[in-house]
Amino acid sequence: MCQVCHEVSPVTPTLIAHKIEGRETCSSCHAAGAVVALPDTHEGRTDEMCLVCHKVSPVLPPDAPHKLADRHPCADCHAEGKLVGALPESHEGRTDQTCELCHEVVSGGVPAIPHKLEGRTDCTLCHAPTK
């Protein structure tokens, strides 16, 4: 009966690009004046309604293997020609605080280097790269 009046929308709701555990209050980040503004069509909708249309993406942002608080700005390492490489085009103009909303810190992080670095310019002389 529904389809007598209603057509299937050609618009597919965007996927949620982050874990939702502990983030069930969508409007804390997705609202007017928040990290991501919602379209006018979402006015009056509640946090509970979000998951009716929006599903978690099967591919989530990679976790950060290091603490984020002492590694700012992120672009010092995550940029073209830097240690880690360029960020996706979709990340242009995002702040470090935005990075922390989607990229979670791996428990324990990367271990500290157990020796001095002075005079050691090529780690691969002693350490073989992993594959």
pLDDT tens digits, 16-32:
988 888 888 999 888 88
Nearest Cα residue to 20 out of 43, 40, 48: 48
Do residue 54 and residue 70 come from a single domain?
Answer: no
* 32-87 confidence digits (pLDDT tens): 888 888 888 898 999 999 999 999 999 888 888 777 666 778 877 887 777 677 78
Residue 72 and residue 11: Cα distance in Å, rounded? 37
In a domain, residue 130? The reply is: no
| Residue closest to 105 by CA, chosen among 75, 62, 73 | 62
Q: Judge if 20 and 30 occupy the same domain.
A: yes
Kindly report the number of other CB atoms within 10 A of residue 99's CB atom: 20
Rg (CA), the chain: 21
**How many independent structural domains does the chain possess?**
2
Q: What is the distance between the alpha carbons of residues 47 and 27, in angstroms, rounded to a whole number? A: 6
Q: Give the H/E segment covering residue 48.
A: helix 47-53
> Which tokens hold the place of 128?
């073989």
Domain that holds residue 32: 14-60
